[in-house]
A and B are shown apart, each in its own frame.
Chain A
Amino acid sequence: MSLDIQQYIASGIIESYVLGLSSEQETKDVEENAMQHQEVSHAIENYRNSLEKYASLQAVSPPQELKAKIWRAIQTEPTAPLEVRGESDAVAPLISPEKNRFQQTGQSLIRYFAAAATVLLLVSATLNVIYLAKYRRVRNSYDQLIVSRNDLITQNQVYQTRISQVESEAAIIHEPGIKPIVMEGVKEHPGMRATVYWNAQSKNVYLAVNRLPLPPAYMQYQLWAIVDGKPVSEGVFDLDQADHALQKMASVSNAQAFAITLEKRGGTVAPTMSNMYVMGKS
């Protein structure tokens, strides 16, 4: 084997070709080389065989009734103008065995067929016009249907998202061991309210804001757990979520109370007691 061809085979071009990835120029090139060099055509053959084996390994038996159905389709197909290329092939064997009989009956039969064909052609042409108009009408309403169907799909997706959100929240609230702790507004902020759903076993903490004033942009609310008399930060949160959406906060195992203060954006290490909005004991 010449060095050039060895290099050519090693270049990866044959693999691309066999997988249908080569460019038009490369494809031509490979096919020319395959004609001139047996090594190239062998390499192609080998790869094809492997891919075919690979495909055969993944064979799936089609349902049994399909065989008869396909055979019927094959037999009726030639009359349908589905494909121009194969038409003459399909018609030829049908006519040739019958030829003798046609010759015996002679010219009159041909004339009869010609007349019949002309009538059929006229009928067909008329029907074409009628059906074209019909087709256009149907096509129109079909397009409209597609548009409204796509709208429905979009709407449906929005609802599904909402439903799954509500479902997951319901699941959290009904978790065994979960305890709702309602935090009411302190003296300075009457009527404010937020609820903590706390699971002492899993330590998970979820927060639902029921009513809190919208803070200025440079401030953020911060949730605190009171553990053994000391405030522990549970994290900051924003109000821009849907009103009753549950937010997961930091886990805590042993809290006697929860409270929310308003702090500078990003939160603080220790709560600003004068800015406390709500508080509730567990």
Chain B
Amino acid sequence: MPASIKYSENDLVVLLKDKDEKAFSYLYDNYSGALYGVILKVIPEEEAARDILQEAFVKIWRNINGYDKLRGKLFTWMLNIARNCAIDALRSKRYRNDQKIRQLDNNVNLNVAYLSVSQNVDHLGLKTVLASLNEEQRRIIDLAYFKGYTQEEIAREMDMPLGTVKTRVRNALIQLKDILK
């Protein structure tokens, strides 16, 4: 699927600001997987995740003029948009209600998204990373980065003192950085 042309982030931003269809195509081909993966992390349910991916792309498209490269990479910016869309959806009442019905209907459904993750993931890379982080470190990163939990929420969720969260966060990130060097 990768496009034959490769744009730099700078060129891509210029094309996007011109609302160029090729730019969308390139953007989608290169980033939709990562964004979709992030969304699925927050909401592991494919139908909802697809809607959120669409919402995220529309937002990216329409707010591209608000992107400022001095404040960070394009990818960071897009990732934040996708993540926030997903977190908003997760916290919205509608999704929670849907979720309740779904649990009654069929518990198996919830795992569908995880199944398809394994088909597309860079297996070796992810496995190495996951193996080098312990369960706690993975959860801290997932809760904070993907699900947007606050320190207090993490402390409650993981049943650890607030002061400990900070130390563990630091260790988890240092570990991740070392693995992905």
Contact = CB atoms under 8 A, between A and B. Distances in A.
Interface of A: 12, 15-16, 18-21, 46-63, 66-67, 69-71, 73-74, 77-78, 82-83, 85-87, 89-90, 93, 146, 149, 153, 156
B86 interface: no
Contacts of A50: 173, 176-177, 180
A52 B97 CA distance: 31
Interface string B16-44: 00110100110011001110111011000
B129 A70 contact: no
A3 to B, nearest CB: 19
Given A60-B120, A71-B24, A66 B54 contact: yes
Contacts, number: 156
B126 A58 contact: yes
A50 B73 CA distance: 13
Closest 3 pairs (CB-CB, A-B) = A86-B62, A59-B33, A12-B170
B58 A66 contact: no
A48 B73 contact: yes
B62 A153 contact: no
Tell me if B's interface is mostly helix, strand, loop or mixed: helix
A47 B173 contact: yes
Contact of B53 (A70, A89, A156): A70
Interface of B: 1, 18-19, 21, 24-25, 28-29, 32-34, 36-38, 40-41, 50, 53-54, 57-59, 61-66, 72-73, 75-76, 79, 97, 100-101, 104, 113, 116-117, 120-122, 125-126, 129, 141, 144-146, 148, 150-151, 154, 165-167, 169-170, 173-174, 176-177, 180
A63 B129 contact: no
Contacts of A86: 59, 62-63, 65-66
7 contacts: A55-B79, A60-B36, A60-B37, A61-B1, A67-B28, A70-B53, A87-B62
A160 to B, nearest CB: 9
A12 B167 contact: yes
Contacts of B150: 21
Contacts of A156: 104
Given A60-B33, A60-B40, A61-B120, A19 B173 contact: yes
A146 B18 CA distance: 45
Contacts of B166: 12, 16
B116 to A, nearest CB: 6
